[in-house]
Amino acid sequence: MQGRLGVVFAGLAAAIACAQAGVAAPRDTVAPSSGRQARSELVWTKAVAPEVTRYRYRYGPLLAAPGHNLILVGPAPIEKPAGDGYMTRVRPDLVDASGKAPPIEQVHMHHAVMLNLSRKDTTYPSLPQRFYGFAEEKTIGQFPRPYGYPVASTDVWAINYMLHNETPEPKVVWIQYDVDWVPASSPTGRRMKPARPLWIDVQNGKAYPVFDALRGEGRGGEMTYPDGVVPSPYGRGPKLNQWKVDRPGTLVAAAGHLHPGGLHVDLSALRGRRSAHIFRSNAHYFDPNGPVSWDLAMTKTPLSWRVGLRKGDVLRVSTTYETRRASWYESMGLVLAYIADGDTGPDPFKHRVYTTGAITHGHLAAANNHGGRPTSLPDPRKAPDGGTIAGGVAVADFTYLPGDLSSSSVLGRPPVVARGSSLHFANYDSAGSILHTVTACRAPCNGSTGVSYPLANGRIQFDSGQLGYGVPGYTPAAGRINWRTAGDLPPGTYTYFCRVHPFMRGAFRVK
């Protein structure tokens, strides 16, 4: 794991050295394959309260190539307000050249993490300090008065991000972030108290901290990770979802992050054999189809929320996903909390803690297209046999051949595989540099593509993983282009799609 993390952050070594030396690192970098300079730039500023200024920055252009699904870092540094001060609010977004958020079903942010390269992370010190993160839930971070995140003039910021392009066409986007800032030398700044970020993740420290929540796992249509996973995903190793408090203080803010299908993230405090539930960050879905898409917002703690902790207490996180409707691959679950060292707050083992909060925004227009509408794609269950297949299915040029539902020729008919045999798939798109999956979906799986369609809800589950290659630590690629279905599939017509490019649909038949 240390080796993979070293690869992910190798590009930051020079910037960290500059930060430690108190000098500026280079501000420009070239967006991958774009030939254009990507940089962080100030868009505007405005006063939002006495001695509080809001800064809007954009980092880009970022090229999301077809099939782009990479973990990238840069440039170093990104812009921040000048001088010493406190960040009191941050609002994220992903925008196109016009400044509008692109449709999520076309391109979206899998996750992005804002890093302070001048400091070590509290819960995983081999990483730079993670002080904010977001994906398409776009939680707005707000500190309660008089707290804020302290930033020195010499601090160096960067962004670790993972863009996901779900189309066959290249997309160019910018990361946009608004920062509310109080100068440390102002009267308000002199009264403020510093708060330290705590990144508490169910897979803390991993280069790609994800897990799968498969349909049918858990109880009552829900699976809690890691509690509901047997055997434990941590084995006999350290419990990655726990962190021991290193000094007394008071938690002053917290919010959770999860992916579609997620229901909530829970934060608890442990003291000896006692456990106190101190916050649940709920996923509020605006999607009329339920908890199945990025059309959601997470709840954060109320501004009055405080939890006092002792040195030696343990903070523990878990996350719960629905597992009745579909399987959820490459899921996440974490809480970002802030602690004010030395402050004395209410002891959660002696006082009742308010464990619910409120969402930070409403429905976002980028998630308007839920999908699932009628299309001209055929119902593969009614299509004639495509003939017995011997060689397998080639995934190339964003199609599955034979058996692609968008093909009107005989190649679009479901190929037949004999019962007891398996069907071979191979990804040939750009020699496997464009990632694809073969993921079971409920027949006929021919509705329009949207944020909540199609789903990994096939009558019988199967998933190939992301077939293709990539630099370890920078991609979720499986490191192979070949995959075979199970040899014991019962007779029937099976439909599937690509999780990376959901407009891709295919079918095969077992007889």
Last residue of a domain, one of 370, 388, 412: 370
Is the pLDDT confidence value at 498 over 50? yes
Which residues have C-beta within 8 Å of that of residue 125, sequence separation ≥ 6? none
Residue 167 near residue 107 (C-beta atoms within 8 A):
yes
Residue 4 and residue 95 in one domain: yes
Residue 162 and residue 177 in one domain: yes
How many domains does the chain fold into? 3
Residue 376 and residue 333 in one domain: no
**How many residues are listed for the chain in this entry?**
511
pTM over 0.85? The answer is yes
Residue 172 and residue 42 in one domain: yes
In the beta sheet, which residues pair with residue 467? 436
Residue 218 and residue 321 in one domain: yes
Which domain CATH number covers 387? 2.60.40.420
- Measured over all CA atoms, what is the biggest interatomic distance in the chain, rounded to whole angstroms? 78
Residue 201 and residue 161 in one domain: no
Q: What pLDDT is attached to residue 17?
A: 40
Mean pLDDT, all residues of the chain: 90
- What does DSSP assign to residue 487? T
Residue 467 and residue 354 in one domain: no
Q: What is the torsional sign of CA 121, 126, 128, 134?
A: negative
Residue 201 and residue 347 in one domain: yes
Which domain CATH number covers 120? 2.60.120.310
Q: What is the pLDDT of residues 170-202, one digit of tens each?
A: 999 999 999 999 999 999 999 999 999 999 999
Residue 395 near residue 426 (C-beta atoms within 8 A):
yes
Query: Which of 413, 390, 417 has the alpha carbon at shortest distance from 402?
Result: 413
Instruction: Please name the amino acid found at residue 34.
Output: S
How distant, in Å, are the alpha carbons of 290, 448, 484 from that of 443? 20, 13, 20
Is the pLDDT confidence value at 408 over 90? no
Last residue of a domain, one of 335, 370, 405: 370
Instruction: Please name the amino acid found at residue 222.
Output: E
Domain span at residue 376 reads 372-511
Last residue of a domain, one of 370, 393, 417: 370
Is the pLDDT confidence value at 254 over 70? yes
Please state the rounded mean pLDDT for residues 72-91: 89
Residue 51 and residue 82 in one domain: yes
Q: What pLDDT is attached to residue 23?
A: 35
Residue 104 and residue 160 in one domain: yes
Which domain CATH number covers 278? 2.60.120.230
Residue 22 and residue 168 in one domain: yes
How does strand 193-194 pair with strand 147-151? parallel
Is the pLDDT confidence value at 332 over 60? yes
H/E element holding 224?
Answer: strand 222-225
In the numeric block, which tokens belong to residue 462? 């199967």
Query: 3-state class of 494 per DSSP?
Result: strand
Q: What pLDDT is attached to residue 342?
A: 93
Residue 344 and residue 215 in one domain: yes
Q: Which of 52-61, 203-212, 239-248, 298-307 has the lowest mean pLDDT?
A: 203-212
